[in-house]
Structure 1
């Protein structure tokens, strides 16, 4: 029998196990996928440790991203066929479906064919990072030609996706990182400029880069004390999209900046887009076209094998990665 990744108690990476399960049978609107590669995300770490928006139902499946080969389809599924190479868009709850395993069951609406030139690693890495960035930057903020965008946690997979999407639409991506250790790598991956937030004056640097006007958009997964620097560095009528809370410290609300500059602070999470069929379709088309043309290219940090699933989550927790962590599944 194939194995899937599960956990039987909430905790650290050590609670993950490979459990043998029967091959799933697809319902009318489901697809069975024989996995080739799995993508890891911060959401899975939070889900496993009981800090996510969903409380795990134990024993809990886990995983939002997989790339592999269609093994079976339900009666209503017509857009993919047995034998197709596909990926999965995060458009479901992990209590309902878990994508990390050797053979997994996915809802048909989340299964997409990917450009043939992508490797399995790239296909497993693509959708969470690029659709998350697309949803905030394009769907909500309408980022385009001439906009300056501040991107905290820029070396994360979503941060790197945001840099690429900004470049694709003619905006100027300014990467924010705690130290200058990743400066060169971020510049090589498309950042127009890099600000080391623990070493430089963020406001002064943004003013210098924008001729004193400030940035129009900040795409922030961090929060915490640095939030005040972002509001200070925004232009009048600027937008802050908050899509995470990586900082464990309190997030201030700089009221005078918000009032004086007419700022918009918008909470954003991926599933408001991926559970809306029309918005999901637009996002999928945008990302697929970008991947197909080469304008968007997933950045893979490190690869593990499925029997190293605990080690892969330990590496995720270490925050050493530059891009996406991939777990390879041997057919």
Structure 2
């Protein structure tokens, strides 16, 4: 029978175990997907450890908000898809019930998109959450335009790298921020027009240098916490800050300083919107076809090694996604 990763109590990676369950038949408007690969995300770790902002019902909770596979069965009233279509899962809001850490799952048909032909399973498993988060924050929220200077924190991570690639595809100018000077060359190679190491220089001074004194038009803050105040001094008056991460668990002070438009962003805001997902899918296909969007892979595990995959993920930080194949 198909295998599924579940956990019956909150805890470390060892709380997860594999069980065998029959594959469910898709209901009306749903498809069943044979999962080929999925990626590990911070929300998975939060759900498993009991720190998720959303209550997780125990026992027998599942994990996984990202994955790719092949349509295996169609429920009644499903159109536009056929059995055998390679797809990417775009949203699994009830991941504790039908998460992607499994060999099969069922999802509403409007929660998958056809996978770009040139993307393999491992790459497709690693691209959507990072890409859709960055696209939603920069394009849908901040209305990024060609020529905008875009300051991106945690730029070495998967969302940061996707943000730099999307900015380049549009014609904006991404400025990558890292805590370590040793990562600057890597950021430049990944598409940053400039790289700032906070262990080496003052961020506001560096940003004003790289923007000719005007400051950043858009700031994508994937860290938040007390350091956000330093970012505000790097923005131009009237600019935009999008807080889309939570890498620093400390409280974020109330923003002060220059007048800015400030958004708090979570990707489900747009990945549950069919119209926006259609735009995302078109942009993704174009970027992959042109070679502008390429997910970074840190390490690949098999489903049998899911505990080790989470242990590796928790060691962080990584320069790409941790992917698990089934």
* TM-score of the two chains, using structure 2 as the length reference: 0.96
Quote the residue 1:303 is aligned against: 300
Where 2:96 maps in the other structure, the secondary structure is: coil
User: After superposition, where does 1:170-209 map in structure 2 within 5 Å?
Assistant: 170-209=171-210
Quote the residue 1:152 is aligned against: 153
| CA deviation after TM superposition for structure 1 residue 254, in Å | 4.0
Q: Which runs of 5+ in 2 are unaligned?
A: none
**Alpha-carbon distance between aligned partners in 1 of 2:255 and 2:96, rounded to the nearest angstrom:** 37
Quote the residue 2:54 is aligned against: 54
Quote the residue 1:231 is aligned against: 232
What do the CA deviations read for 1:4-54 (whole angstroms, capped 9, x no partner)?
111111112111111111111111121111121111111111121122232
**Alpha-carbon distance between aligned partners in 2 of 1:266 and 1:254, rounded to the nearest angstrom:** 11
Check whether the contact 1:299–1:324 (CA below 8 A) recurs between aligned residues: yes
Where 1:235 maps in the other structure, the secondary structure is: strand
Quote the residue 2:222 is aligned against: 221
| CA deviation after TM superposition for structure 1 residue 156, in Å | 1.2
Measured on the aligned residues, the alpha-carbon RMSD in Å equals 1.3
Q: 1:91 to 1:293 in 2, by over 3 A?
A: farther
Q: Which runs of 5+ in 1 are unaligned?
A: none
| CA deviation after TM superposition for structure 1 residue 91, in Å | 4.8
1:280 equivalenced with 2:261 (yes/no): no
Where 1:314 maps in the other structure, the secondary structure is: helix
**Alpha-carbon distance between aligned partners in 2 of 1:171 and 1:216, rounded to the nearest angstrom:** 10
Quote the residue 2:90 is aligned against: 89
Where 2:132 maps in the other structure, the secondary structure is: helix
From 292, 298, 318, give the equivalent of 2:315.
318
Quote the residue 1:122 is aligned against: 123
Check whether the contact 1:91–1:271 (CA below 8 A) recurs between aligned residues: no
Quote the residue 2:11 is aligned against: 11
Where 2:233 maps in the other structure, the secondary structure is: helix
Bigger drift between 150-159 and 291-300 goes to 291-300
Aligned residues: 325
Where 2:275 maps in the other structure, the secondary structure is: helix
**Alpha-carbon distance between aligned partners in 1 of 2:92 and 2:324, rounded to the nearest angstrom:** 20
Check whether the contact 1:131–1:284 (CA below 8 A) recurs between aligned residues: no
Where 2:84 maps in the other structure, the secondary structure is: coil
**Alpha-carbon distance between aligned partners in 2 of 1:15 and 1:314, rounded to the nearest angstrom:** 12
Check whether the contact 2:71–2:84 (CA below 8 A) recurs between aligned residues: yes
What do the CA deviations read for 1:246-288 (whole angstroms, capped 9, x no partner)?
1122222242x1xxx3211111111111122222222222222
What do the CA deviations read for 1:269-318 (whole angstroms, capped 9, x no partner)?
11111122222222222222222332211111111111111111111111
Where 2:102 maps in the other structure, the secondary structure is: coil
Bigger drift between 124-133 and 100-109 goes to 100-109
| CA deviation after TM superposition for structure 1 residue 136, in Å | 0.5
Check whether the contact 2:142–2:240 (CA below 8 A) recurs between aligned residues: yes
Check whether the contact 1:99–1:105 (CA below 8 A) recurs between aligned residues: no
**Alpha-carbon distance between aligned partners in 2 of 1:38 and 1:4, rounded to the nearest angstrom:** 13
Quote the residue 2:26 is aligned against: 26
Bigger drift between 15-24 and 87-96 goes to 87-96
Bigger drift between 279-288 and 106-115 goes to 279-288
What do the CA deviations read for 1:70-91 (whole angstroms, capped 9, x no partner)?
1111112222211111111125
**Alpha-carbon distance between aligned partners in 1 of 2:189 and 2:38, rounded to the nearest angstrom:** 26
Check whether the contact 2:118–2:288 (CA below 8 A) recurs between aligned residues: no
From 260, 267, 270, give the equivalent of 2:267.
270
**Alpha-carbon distance between aligned partners in 1 of 2:321 and 2:196, rounded to the nearest angstrom:** 22
| CA deviation after TM superposition for structure 1 residue 209, in Å | 0.3
Quote the residue 1:240 is aligned against: 241
